[in-house]
Amino acid sequence: MDESVRIFLDFMRIERGLSPRTIEAYQNDLKAFHDFLTPEERADLSGIQRRRLVAFLMNGRNEGLQPATLARRLVAIKMFFRFLDQEGILKNDLTDSMDSPALWRHLPEILSPQDVDLLLAAPDKKSDRGRRDRAMLELMYACGLRVTELVTLRMEDLHFDDGYLRVLGKGRKQRLIPVARRSAKWVKDYVDEVRPRLLNTAVTPKEVFLSLNGLPLTRARLWQLIREYATLANLGGRPHPHTLRHSFASHLLSAGAPLRAIQEMLGHADIGTTQIYTHVDQQRLKQVHHAFHPRA
């Protein structure tokens, strides 16, 4: 199985163009699946029963794994088995009809516009770090950026005179995203006045957002900063980087933006992924109805 996994991951990286982080996640998922199987099952994947796949996923659920992680594990296994089936290594692909159980699906956490304002206002606007962080938060919410997209954003990707960003998303697919003027103003302030003071002349990074020692900001550090500002804004520390992306999409949909346009701005390959926000909006409408309708 180890050799089959290696060939599969090479195929996904070279032929499908998946990002290194996705490849690493799939590798970890398949390793966990490998460790769960018996020696006999590892030797003959065709003999694995469907109930064993379900047992593996339920075992992860009992260990406290998040629904999104369980869903990704199922995707990794499905793609692996499909690859083996297409290569003639498997006699049949028993994952072909398996979907993520509705029990695992969950609605993304959304901040209200008022909570977003509190979060964006949390950084100290008098310090270089605070001005940098305000610019980052503004851009994440204004454009619905993934964490990786933000930390890998380069100076040449900023086109504020024309009102857009160029973003390199999953699968190295490029997309253009409009930028609100107010958010662009914060980023321009950082780029023109703060970033030059942070630059490490020995390295001269091309990334837009830099750490205080002049190196590109990391995903882990961005996570820490958002948690820090969520606490300062009395949001309970619950928001994480993806929360701003979810809020971006949900607020657009609530304001009447077409789902296809939101899909394009988010960089979703499948509109089914974007449709989760319609469920969020329906949930909001139910809450409004329950709060205000006399018959509720």
Which CATH number covers residue 37?
A: 1.10.150.130
Q: Is residue 170 part of a domain?
A: yes
Q: Domain check: are 137 and 62 in the same one?
A: no
Q: Domain check: are 62 and 184 in the same one?
A: no
Q: Is residue 17 part of a domain?
A: yes
Q: Domain check: are 9 and 81 in the same one?
A: yes
Residues in the chain: 296
Query: Radius of gyration of the chain from Cα atoms?
Result: 22
pLDDT single digits (tens) 49-80: 778 888 888 888 888 888 878 888 888 888 88
Q: How far apart are CA 82 and CA 86, in angstroms?
A: 6
Catalytic residue numbers read 146, 170, 242, 245, 268, 277
Q: Domain check: are 96 and 143 in the same one?
A: no
The closest of 70, 67, 37 to 52, measured between CA atoms, is 37
Q: Domain check: are 119 and 258 in the same one?
A: yes
Give me the DSSP letters along 45-75. Answer: GGG--HHHHHHHHHHHHHTT--HHHHHHHHH
Q: Domain check: are 132 and 255 in the same one?
A: yes
pLDDT single digits (tens) 241-288: 788 999 999 899 888 888 899 999 998 887 877 877 776 666 655 665
pLDDT single digits (tens) 147-170: 889 999 999 999 999 999 999 887
Domain count along the chain: 2
Domain of residue 149: give its range: 113-290
Q: Domain check: are 210 and 263 in the same one?
A: yes
Q: Domain check: are 156 and 261 in the same one?
A: yes
3-state secondary structure of 177: strand
Residue 28 Rama label (left phi>0; alpha psi -120 to 50; beta): alpha
Residues 6 or more apart whose Cβ sits within 8 Å of residue 179 = 139, 142, 143, 160, 163, 164, 165, 187
Q: How far apart are CA 106 and CA 251, in angstroms?
A: 18
Q: Is residue 295 part of a domain?
A: no
What number of other Cβ atoms are within 10 A of residue 250's Cβ?
Answer: 25
Q: How far apart are CA 136 and CA 223, in angstroms?
A: 12
Contact 84, 4 (CB under 8 A): yes
CATH of the domain at 218: 1.10.443.10
Q: Dihedral angle at the C-alpha atoms of 282, 286, 288, 291, nearest 10 degrees?
A: -170
Which residue type occupies 93?
A: D
Q: Domain check: are 77 and 146 in the same one?
A: no
pLDDT single digits (tens) 83-139: 887 777 776 656 655 555 443 455 577 888 999 999 999 999 999 999 999 999 999
Name the domain boundary from 59, 85, 103.
103
Q: Give the model's pLDDT for residue 172.
A: 78
Q: Domain check: are 89 and 129 in the same one?
A: no
pLDDT single digits (tens) 183-200: 999 999 999 999 999 997
Residue 171 Rama label (left phi>0; alpha psi -120 to 50; beta): left
The closest of 161, 117, 143 to 153, measured between CA atoms, is 143
Q: Is residue 34 part of a domain?
A: yes
Q: Give the model's pLDDT for residue 87.
A: 75
Q: Domain check: are 130 and 261 in the same one?
A: yes
Residues 6 or more apart whose Cβ sits within 8 Å of residue 232 = 122
Q: Give the model's pLDDT for residue 104.
A: 46
Name the domain boundary from 103, 132, 164.
103
Q: Give the model's pLDDT for residue 139.
A: 95
Q: How far apart are CA 209 and CA 123, in angstroms?
A: 15
- For residue 158, what is the enclosing H or E element? strand 158-159
Q: Is residue 264 part of a domain?
A: yes
Q: Is residue 94 part of a domain?
A: yes
Name the domain boundary from 84, 103, 122.
103
Q: How far apart are CA 74 and CA 56, in angstroms?
A: 10
pTM more than 0.85: no
- How confident is the model over 16-31, as a mean pLDDT? 87
- How confident is the model over 169-181, as a mean pLDDT? 87
Q: Domain check: are 96 and 118 in the same one?
A: no
What number of other Cβ atoms are within 10 A of residue 40's Cβ?
Answer: 9
CA-based angle 102:108:114, to the nearest 5?
150
Q: Is residue 284 part of a domain?
A: yes
3-state secondary structure of 269: coil
Q: Is residue 28 part of a domain?
A: yes
Which residue type occupies 133?
A: D
